[in-house]
Amino acid sequence: MRRNQKIVYSAMNKVNNKSYIGYCIDFKERKTRHFLCAKKGIVTRFYNAIRKYGEENFEWIILFDNLENIEECKKIEKLMIVLFDTYNNGYNSTLGGDGGFTGHNSGEFKKGQQSRNKGKKMSEEQRQKLSNAHKGIKLSKSHAESISKANKGRIVTKETREKIRKSLIGKKRTPEATKRIREATRKANNKPIRQFNIDKIAIMNYSSLTEASEITGISRSNISMSARIGRKSVGNFLWEYIKQ
């Protein structure tokens, strides 16, 4: 693959099927940098997983290539993180669009930096700044909790998936991307759900939102909303996703 090809990629753990979504301009170099960061002990969900399961247990796939610019890479990365749920149930530590893609990753830049810095000693303050930059921005406890609560248990609804599908029309996706997007959509559609009466007595289990909607006549979006909130009744019923 040629350099400077703007892509969005995934790295899937072959043991538990959890994934990391990212974007870059040099796929081979980006993989190498990920592995190097993991070996250095940098603490993120993704690097922790690489250390735990080993480099050999990750499958790296290009999802979209030949993208126009950085902003398009960021946009598609965010969409894929939502679609594959890699923030809640994967290795992405953010909702995307905030790192991993700069000209500073190029070999030319690094070579120039090495020449300029050769023989220079870093102060303790510079070392600390560099360490903090590698570890990422630290959030306050309250900020981290608010982000976690806002995204915990988020369900990708049919409407959201349709918006994602339309936004990707005309984008050059790889065959593997098409396959994985279909699998993610099918998996979301097949999530089992339980129906309760107002007194919170279980009435019926359904294999999916689609089945529950077809049998009860209640819209998928309303059932999904009730299941996410956990309190709001829809059609005089309460709904809850069944943990698998």
Looking at every residue in the chain, the average pLDDT score rounds to 74
Residue 170 has pLDDT above 70, yes or no: no
Q: How far is CA 32 from CA 36, 130, 226, in A?
A: 6, 19, 44
| Residue bearing tokens 């399961």 | 53
Residue 116 has pLDDT above 90, yes or no: no
Residue 6 CA, chain-centre distance (Å), reads 18
| Residue bearing tokens 């070392």 | 127
Number of helical (H) and strand (E) elements in the chain, helices listed first = 10, 6
Q: What is the mean pLDDT of residues 159-178?
A: 66
DSSP state of 119: T
* Domain formed by 191-244, architecture: Orthogonal Bundle (1.10)
In the chain, where the domains are located: 7-151, 191-244
Q: What is the CATH number of domain 7-151?
A: 3.40.1440.10
User: Shortest CA distance to 212 belongs to which of 197, 188, 185, 192?
Assistant: 192
Residue 230 has pLDDT above 90, yes or no: no
Q: What pLDDT is attached to residue 123?
A: 55
Query: Percent of the chain, pLDDT > 90?
Result: 21
Q: Looking at per-residue confidence, does 3 or 243 come out higher?
A: 243
At 84-102, the pLDDT tens digits run 888 888 999 998 877 644 3
Give the span between the Cα atoms of 201 and 192, in whole angstroms.
17
